[in-house]
Structure 1
Amino acid sequence: MRRLLLALSLCAGWAMAQPAATAEEPTVLPDGEGRDEVFYGCTACHSSALIRRSRLSHAQWDGLMDWMAERHGMTPLEGADRALVVNYLARHFGPAQAPARGRNPFLN
């Protein structure tokens, strides 16, 4: 977990240092309940690319909310707002499913 948080903090620092090429819109994220809250809440500090390339479990996304509040001064999310954001992130940006053992992942 510490390695993951370190990697995310390094990526966040790099992402914030990069000039924005174009303005982002909520449509860069998958449609679903919580998309606008995630987009506007998260892109206030960093690019949506950081979210889109992350593959965290529900517990990891939830823990990341506390870490960002403690380490980066994010306003803490609580209650229904936190559940909405974490559920959206875990549903759309959860761990990639590993192919079944013995199956060729390149065959359809």
Structure 2
Amino acid sequence: MQEKENNDGIVFKPIFKVVLLIFTSFIIFGALAIVFFGPRQSEVELGEEDSELIENGIHIRTGLVEADGLQTVITNCTTCHSSKLIIQNRMGEEQWDATIRWMQKTQGLWPLGENQKVIVDYLTKNYPVLEKGRRPPLTDIDWYPLEGN
């Protein structure tokens, strides 16, 4: 392999230059990735004094609706899973109760006692079944071939 000498008399092998270029690229692109794709302000861990902030009726740390039973839901539900799992589900009272029983039977959820009614009331009031959701599956379709160009 051919060695090259710079003005200071230091010898650089071509492979070293390639390794140095790759290393420098990783550092630069890594820094850019952190700047552009790093955690948003809302995802940054809030301090203790900010962890219970409410803005526009939403609990900032969890994204849950501020209402009676919020603290009970946070204490009993977000201990094991993300509040996003709660927010994306919309069920009636029977379905929430069945889900709680399933979590108790299979996931190790402790007995909730009086808190179960508080939690289910909060969930059915703030995350009710939506009247309009996904369209039902298509049935009785008369399929036909599309003609090419």
TM-score range, shorter chain: 0.5 to 0.7
Structure 1 unmatched runs, 5+: 1-20, 100-108
Q: Which of 84, 93, 98 is the equivalent residue of 1:63?
A: 98
Structure 2 match to 1:54 = 89
Structure 1 match to 2:30 = none
Structure 1 match to 2:124 = 90
Shift of the alpha carbon at 1:23?
4.2
Could you say which structure has the larger radius of gyration? 2
Q: Which has the higher strand share?
A: 2
Q: CA RMSD in A?
A: 2.0
**1:6-85 map, 5 Å:** 22-23=44-45, 25=51, 27=59, 28-78=63-113, 80-85=114-119
Percent of paired sites with the same residue: 29
Return the letter of the residue paired with 1:83. Answer: K
CA spacing shift, 1:53–1:82, aligned 2, 3 Å: same
**Distance (Å, rounded) in 1 between the aligned partners of 2:78 and 2:45:** 11
Query: How many residue pairs were aligned?
Result: 78
CA spacing shift, 1:33–1:71, aligned 2, 3 Å: same
Structure 2 unmatched runs, 5+: 1-42, 53-58, 134-149
Question: TM-score if structure 1 supplies the norm length?
Answer: 0.64
SS at match of 1:30: coil
Any conservation in 2 of the 1:30–1:92 contact (CA below 8 Å)? Answer: yes
Q: Which runs of 4+ in 1 moved over 6 A?
A: none
Q: Which has the higher helix share?
A: 1
SS at match of 1:85: helix
- Deviations 1:44-96 (CA, angstroms, capped at 9, x unpaired): 11110000000111110011111101101010212x31110111011111111
Return the letter of the residue paired with 1:49. Answer: K
